[in-house]
Each structure stands twice: as C-alpha cells, then as structure tokens.
Amino acid sequence: MAQSRLERIGTIYTRAQGLIRSGAVNWEDRPLWYDVYEAFPPKENPSYDRPAPIIPLKPIFYKEDKIRALFHKNNKKIGTTNLFDSKHKTLTQKFIDNYQKVEAQYAETGTEKQIYEEAIDLLKKDFEVKKGDEEVSLSNAFKEAQEKTNVKINISDLFK
C-alpha cells in the first residue's frame, strides 16, 4: 500500500508515487498536482521535523490604516457599501480624504482628537449637502419607485 498515513513517514508525493508504482492507481488517474510537483520539486523536502525558517515580518500597515481603524472604532453603524460601485468613494474613503486634508492644514499644531472631530464635521456637512432635507429610507425609496412606474403594489400581497 502507501506505507503509513502518518505524516512522519513520507510525504503525500511519496505516497502517491508508491500507489502508482504498485499499480493501485493507474498512471492516467494520478492527481493533477503530481506532474507539477515532478517538474518543479520544492527546494527543501517537506518534512514534519524541519524547523520553520525565521524570517522577519515586514510591516504592512499604511498611514491610512490607522485612520480607518479610528473611524470604524468610533462609528460602528455606518451602513452598507456597494462593492460594484467603483465611481463613488466609500464613506470610509471620504473620511480618510477629509482627515488628511485637515491634518495637512493643522500640520503639527492640532491634536489627533481635534483633527478627527473636524474631519467628521466635514463628512457630515458633505453628507447633508448630498442628502438634502429629505429623509432617505427603504419605505421612501419604495414609494418613489411606485410613483415613477404607476404600478400599485401592496407589500403584504407579495408574501401571500
């Protein structure tokens, strides 16, 4: 058979190779990765007792990540984001842009809290200008759609 199923004895490659050599698996039925593994074997044989290499991790955080974390920490309910809409910026991206503008204005004089509050105020003003005085909700959107199409639909009839 294929030796032992323990990872200490052989690798998955040697087990598959043993099955093919013994005739338990036909050559035509070999795994898809088998040919790739033979063509490009690993530099070091995979073994359970090989120590993991000590590689220093690269810092992958950007300056915007700190701002984004601050925004999401203080604003839990910001709504949904349409991932198909690439024309408009997300609320988070708008906040980051506002934060960077305010930070550039204050340079070294403002504290993080002041910059954050002013960026939030700018974001609220921007949102109020676009939103206007009209309240946006699902029921209002449904009423507008009914008025535009002139079709009378009763929501309770939909679920009967």
Give the model confidence (pLDDT) of 3-12 as tens digits: 555 666 778 8
Q: How many CB atoms lie within 10 A of CB 103?
A: 18
Please tell me the distance from the alpha carbon of residue 160 to that of residue 158, in angstroms, as a whole number: 6
Q: How many CB atoms lie within 10 A of CB 10?
A: 17
Tell me the whole-structure pTM to 2 decimals. Answer: 0.49
Q: Give residue 149's pLDDT band: very low, low, confident or very high (50, 70, 90).
A: low
Please tell me the distance from the alpha carbon of residue 79 to that of residue 27, in angstroms, as a whole number: 55
Phi/psi of residue 90, each to 5°? -75, 165
Q: Give residue 133's pLDDT band: very low, low, confident or very high (50, 70, 90).
A: very low
Please tell me the distance from the alpha carbon of residue 131 to that of residue 69, in angstroms, as a whole number: 26
Please tell me the distance from the alpha carbon of residue 78 to that of residue 124, in angstroms, as a whole number: 12
Tell me: the pLDDT tens digits for 104-121?
A: 988 777 788 889 999 989
